[in-house]
Structure 1
Amino acid sequence: MRIGELAARTGVSERSLRYYEQQGLLASDRTPGGHRDFPERAVDRVIRIQELYAAGLHSSKIARILPCMRDEDGGPSVRATPELVAELTTERDRIDRMINELLRSRGVLDEVIDAAAGSIGAERA
């Protein structure tokens, strides 16, 4: 499929897809006219890349992770090194800390909303 179709099917811009290819995250063949030709499995790969970006990982780490992940066409091509596993564990811990901070912030906001709602009810009485 051409880059425009891949962009439409994944919701990712053509510019981002070219960047993914440049970073080694995504591969395509070239038509005789020089156009990119992506395989069907590129859709799943782009979605996976987007999930990893959303997790806060940068492209160089994603490039190291992707070969260790199972794709729809089979198992991982390489095993993760202990160093990569340690780095990913650190990333997960960072995300856990962020989640806990957000939960605390939401709790404070809930208290403020409850107090504000209570004072509005008291004013009307």
Structure 2
Amino acid sequence: MRIGELAERAGVSTRSLRYYEKQGMLTARRDANGYRVYDESDLELVREIRALLTVGFTLEDARPFVECLRAGNDTGDACPDSVAVYRRKLAEIDAEIRLLWQRRQRVAAQLTRACPGCVLRDFREG
């Protein structure tokens, strides 16, 4: 398939695909007239990249997942390097949550001082 079809099927722009190629995440073959040509495995690579980017991973974070798929695995997270990225990302998220929780406690304390009768809603209640 050509770049336009891959972009449409993957739900990304052709510009994104060219960027992924420039970053070494995607490799296009060229047909006789120089057009980029992709196959179904490239579609899976792009879907994997997009899924990871959507949940906050960087393109560099996605690299081990892409390599895992290129190695013939059914999923991009079947390899130890991918699992290591998951672990690192979870640790980063946990650190962010701790920081946000500390900030929330400080703001709640300030609100309690400013408004002694105010009721604080628990954020987990929606």
The count of corresponding residues between Structure 1 and Structure 2 is 106
1:46: how far off?
0.9
How is 1:45-84 mapped onto 2 (pairs within 5 angstroms)? Answer: 45-69=45-69, 74=73, 79-81=79-81
Q: Is the 8 A contact 1:29 1:37 kept in 2?
A: yes
Residue deviations 1:5-34 (CA, integer Å, cap 9, x gap): 011111100000011111111121101111
**Contact 2:45–2:69 (8 Å) recurs in 1:** no
Is 55-64 or 28-37 further displaced after alignment?
A: 55-64
- Equivalent position of 1:8 in the other structure: 8
Tell me the distance in 2 between the aligned counterparts of 1:10 and 1:65.
Answer: 17
Contact 1:30 1:37 in 2 (8 A): yes
Listed one character per residue, the Cα deviations across residues 81-115 of structure 1 (whole Å, up to 9, x for unaligned) are: 5xx6444312023335667969xx9943857xxxx
1:70 and 1:76 in contact (8 A); partners too: no
**55-64 or 11-20: which moved more?**
55-64
The share of aligned pairs that are identical, in percent, is 35
The separation in 2 between residues aligned to 1:80 and 1:96, in whole angstroms, is: 21
Cα distance in 1 for partners of 2:75, 2:27 equals 16
Give the alignment's TM-score, normalised by structure 2: 0.63
Native 8 Å contact 1:68 1:80 kept in 2: no
Structure 1 unaligned segments of length 5 or more: list them. 112-125
User: How many Å separate the matches in 2 of 1:16 and 1:8?
Assistant: 12
Higher RCO (CA-CA < 8 Å; seq separation 6+): 1
> Larger deviation: 88-97 or 48-57?
88-97
Matches of 1:69 and 1:63, distance apart in 2: 10
Tell me the equivalent position of 1:120.
Answer: none
Consecutive unaligned residues in structure 2, runs of 5 or more: 105-120
**Distance in 1, Cα, partners of 2:84 & 2:74:** 21
The DSSP-based 3-state class of the residue aligned with 1:27 is: coil
